Amino acid sequence: MLICLDTNCVIYLIENNPIWGPRIVARLALARAAGDTVAVCDLARSECLIGPLAKGNAALLAEYQRFFASPTVQMLPLTIAVLERAAEVRIASAMHFELPDCLHLASAIEHGCGLFLTNDAQLARCTAIPVEVLS
């Protein structure tokens, strides 16, 4: 199964968040043991790079770049189909989901992911794809 990670999960993983870092590491270990593949929307790359770029943190920037370039991570491009699906997801959420969240969800849907993994509990209301909230 292809599992799409929300930006928050990538940040927890790369920045070794003391609470959520071990949880995402454990969840990804289970996924890989089950033969699942990790995927990330291209939008997450942009969102993740903002912090290191703003702080001038070249080492952290390099860590993110290594993650996104890893052969174990499948990058999901923002295609026309994804952009159109994002509009549908936003409408289906009664405009409660922010557009970046809709883009992440739409990317996972359009690229055939079987699961979207996040730490944003409100996204579990999406019915177009199974959403797992990191716990």
Task: Enumerate the domain spans of the chain.
Answer: 2-133
Q: Give the CATH architecture of domain 2-133.
A: 3-Layer(aba) Sandwich (3.40)
The reported pLDDT for the residue numbered 49 is 98
- CB-side exposure of 22: number of CA atoms within 13 Å? 2
Neighbours of 37 (CB within 10 A): 15
R_g (Cα) of the chain, nearest Å? 14
Measure the CA–CA gap between 48 and 82, rounded to whole angstroms: 20
Q: What is the mean pLDDT of residues 43-64?
A: 98
The model's pTM is 0.96
Measure the CA–CA gap between 60 and 103, rounded to whole angstroms: 25
The reported pLDDT for the residue numbered 95 is 84
pLDDT over 70 percentage in the chain: 100
Q: What is the pLDDT of residues 26-36, one digit of tens each?
A: 999 999 999 99
Which residues contact residue 110 at a Cβ distance below 8 angstroms, ignoring those fewer than 6 apart?
76, 79, 81, 82, 85
The reported pLDDT for the residue numbered 5 is 98
Helices (H) and strands (E) counted in the chain, each on its own, are 6, 5
Q: What is the pLDDT of residues 79-121, one digit of tens each?
A: 999 999 999 999 999 989 999 999 999 999 999 999 999 999 9
Tell me the average pLDDT of the chain. 97
